[in-house]
Structure 1
Amino acid sequence: MEVEMQPQEQPFDVSLMFDNFDVDILVKVLAHTMLSPFFMFWLPVFFWFQGVPYTDPVFFGTSAYVVGVATFWALKWYSRLYRNQGSLIYGPGPFDWGEQIVVITGGSSGIGELIANTCAVRNVTVIVLDVNPIVTENYNINYYKCDVSKWEEVEAVSKKIIEEIGHPTVLINNAGVVQGKLLVDLTPEDVQQTFSVNTMAHFWTLKAFLPGMIEQKKGHIITMSSVAGMVGMARMADYNASKAALISLHESLRYELDHKYNTPAIRTTLVLPGHVQTPMFSRVRLPQAPWYKFFVPSLPPVTIAKAVIAALDEQHSQTLYMPFYANFVPFLPLCPSYVRDFGQWVSAVYVRPECAWN
């Protein structure tokens, strides 16, 4: 794999565990204060106890604000319940980690390794599929050498796994590669490798393990895509296209499970992160301006791992946009061209070809 990108000015640290102050932290605080109906409910109550009449603009305005915020969160929550055939009264039962068999592709390094070790700590049977062995002290992590880009290897290994361990209940498609070349500089082998690992591997693992989930009518499939699948970037054409295919695959799979196999209990989670501080992008140089770090923060791998574990715990089908700015990326194609170009300029994906996303 070749990534022709400029090195960072600062040493690359893939073990960053602390939170920097950025827009994501600000949004998290606001979500629990000014944008929380439970918190803001007491504001009009306070004015009422102070003797402010109902017709006063202050009381009316704060009450309308609380109603608006409550309506937003209610619709958002109902949308999730509708997608997951959930109940307005009863939530899903606790996720039984001890009964799970988790398959992780590309689990020997980066995000996959973090997820594998985190699951292992929860007494989960973990299966790592990778061309390189995982270095770990967790006894319940099982390594199977497999090039997931090749159907013959996936088919053979899947039969061995089912025979020796059992049918997997969680599939985390995490393996990925990046070339970092201009379109005309990509060799046929480069393009073949990118799509084989980033896209076709998802088809092969689904073909191998999905029938068992359909038979049991339960399971969870995590698809690791990228914000890059929704935008265009120089020197990333093959990577972006391979990640865009995963977004469509995720949606199509969801509708097949719901309407063709009648298995809504098989959950699907699509992960769409921005730039992640993994070895795969260790040579990426990003802007060092404080405003850029505030609005377009890079994500430590532990953040992705925590989000995946939380998604499994919640037992809901969902799409995870990380960090906060990623929520607005799907709307860029709907904007005028100058707004779209400005958005990509701000995120450094349009005029800085040495920048990349995971």
Structure 2
Amino acid sequence: MNAPSSDDPAPIYDSVDIDMVVKVLSQTAFSPFFTCFIPIFYAFQGYEFTNPVVIAPSIYCAAVSAFCRALEMDLTAVPQSRFVVVTGVTENYNIAYYPCDVSKWEEVEAVSKKIIDEIGQPTMLINNAGVAQGKLIINLKPEDIYQTFGVNTLAHFWTLKAFLPGMIKNKTGHIVTMSSIMGFVGSVQMTDYSASKAALVTMNESLRYELDKVYDAPGIRTTLVCPGHILTPLFSTIQLPTNPFFKFLAPSIAPVTVVKAIITALDAQQSRTIYLPFYTNMAPVLRMIPSYLRDISQKFSGADYSMRNFTKVTARRPDEGDLPIANGKY
């Protein structure tokens, strides 16, 4: 069974999930604009301003407003001209496309020099390239492991070595690191992938401190993205639970949802950690809960069975042969 495509039609109720609930709450109960009307409503009803029914919502509104304001305190002026380098993107009509094996330093170095000479110094770097093998640990070939860590981990170091010096010189920039919820948790047939994504979590944190404490470049922002299942070809052949409860709590997300969150961070010029969808916020906590609760969450997620019939669709090497086709589908 293939994972649903982002283009497949779905009933309206399929879009009702916990993320929609959180979005509604963020625009109502946790919105300064919305909550400010609550004490006003009671005041218009004739209640004195010293009445608890007016004071309590006023305090709540002030707290929500202060929290939202604190989130905005990190704002800085957005550069007038922005030049973004994105890895893992195919040729497109509206981008300059530079073919390169990002897992190899020599190729990244050569292409980065060409980019800087032809276009200029990038102000934003989005390390997006990724690959998954979907094999048990003893079935992983050396070539599989080299490819996984080369694309998922080492490529980040190579692009940083290539483009970060220019950002440090200008004291401005933004680096987006695409990790995964699998960087916090492990599951069957994901040993190499999870390890490669876990490395990015601490790499991003160490980079943040180097920029602040050593290079004196706090104006260079760093955003770590830790998504759940995204409806892209990379994991298009996994098998997820289909029960309504799972789909409500742990929905798959469209690529555009992740893109919007990244663009918001870039526009705001803030360093952020982006967890999408909402349930992924719990991933770091899983390491701290008792083992039996961790096992229950693992069973509910179906993660240990989702890769059972996985077929590698993207980034296939010549030694892996052609992509098998069954019933007209990959």
- Residue correspondence of structure 1 range 279-358 to structure 2 within 5 A: 279-350=233-304, 352-354=306-308
Aligned to 1:27: 22
State the identity as a percent: 53
Seen in structure 2, the aligned counterparts of structure 1 residues 338 and 282 have a Cα distance that, compared at 3 Å, is same
For 1:36, give the aligned amino acid.
S
1:222 aligns with 2:176: yes
Distance 2:129 2:154 in 1: 11
Seen in structure 2, the aligned counterparts of structure 1 residues 313 and 187 have a Cα distance that, compared at 3 Å, is same
Aligned to 1:164: 118
Distance 2:259 2:111 in 1: 25
Aligned to 1:112: none
Q: Deviations over 1:163-202 (max 9, x none)?
A: 2222211111111100001111111211111001100010
Distance 2:45 2:240 in 1: 52
1:39 aligns with 2:34: yes
Aligned to 2:326: none
Seen in structure 2, the aligned counterparts of structure 1 residues 169 and 71 have a Cα distance that, compared at 3 Å, is closer
Q: Deviations over 1:280-332 (max 9, x none)?
A: 11111111112211111101111112222222111111111100111121111
Distance 1:17 1:36 in 2: 32
RMSD in angstroms over aligned alpha carbons? 2.5
Aligned to 1:13: 5
- Displacement of 1:244 after TM fit? 0.4
TM-score (norm 2): 0.84
**CA contact under 8 A between 1:220 and 1:266: conserved in structure 2?**
yes
- What are structure 2's unaligned runs of at least 5 residues? 311-330
**CA contact under 8 A between 1:17 and 1:300: conserved in structure 2?**
no
Seen in structure 2, the aligned counterparts of structure 1 residues 168 and 63 have a Cα distance that, compared at 3 Å, is closer
**CA contact under 8 A between 2:239 and 2:305: conserved in structure 1?**
no
For 2:215, give the aligned amino acid.
Y
Aligned to 1:50: 45
- Displacement of 1:104 after TM fit? 1.2
TM-score (norm 1): 0.78
Aligned to 1:190: 144
Pick the aligned partner of 2:85 from 87, 92, 103. Answer: 103
Partner of 1:220, secondary structure, is strand
- Residue correspondence of structure 1 range 242-253 to structure 2 within 5 A: 242-253=196-207
Distance 1:183 1:162 in 2: 40
1:137 aligns with 2:129: no
For 1:93, give the aligned amino acid.
A
Partner of 2:188, secondary structure, is coil
Distance 1:215 1:46 in 2: 53
Distance 2:308 2:47 in 1: 58
- What are structure 1's unaligned runs of at least 5 residues? 1-6, 109-133
Distance 1:172 1:15 in 2: 25
- Displacement of 1:57 after TM fit? 6.2
- Displacement of 1:50 after TM fit? 2.9
- Residue correspondence of structure 1 range 235-274 to structure 2 within 5 A: 235-274=189-228
Aligned to 1:93: 77
1:234 aligns with 2:216: no
